[in-house]
Amino acid sequence: MPVNQNLIETTKQSPEYQNGLAILGDPDDYAGQTMMEFIGFFYVMSIREAGNVEGLQAFLRQLGIVAQKSERGYAFGCEDEEALTTAFTYIVGRNSREYFEEFLKHRAELVAGDPQVPEQ
């Protein structure tokens, strides 16, 4: 899927992207897998909170980030590193440092095999 280079440049000029840089420091310090997992997490939370999923899908699609079938269901995939980093930074910046840190905390718990699933 072709990447919309104009969208990358426009996104990098946005206040959300700049906030993402402030939260992350250097986004390239994060592995691509972490970026994809965070985008997937944000996508699922957008569905759960009745957010603008259609707008999010269109944004991701224009950056070449699409859902792909994997052995565990579906996962997002992307061939363009700049597009992935741009989307990741923008989405982090649309939220807060605490939101991103909570994601990292839950991710670490899952990786360690000790998920702390909150009671509903």
Q: Which pLDDT tens digit goes with each residue over 55-80?
A: 999 999 999 999 877 777 778 889 89
Q: Is 14 exposed, middle or buried (0-12, 13-18, 19+ CB in 10 A)?
A: middle
Instruction: Tell me which residue of 102, 107, 103, 96 sits closest to 20, measured CA to CA.
Output: 96
pLDDT at 77: 87
Residue 116 CA, distance from chain mean position: 22
pTM above 0.75, yes or no: yes
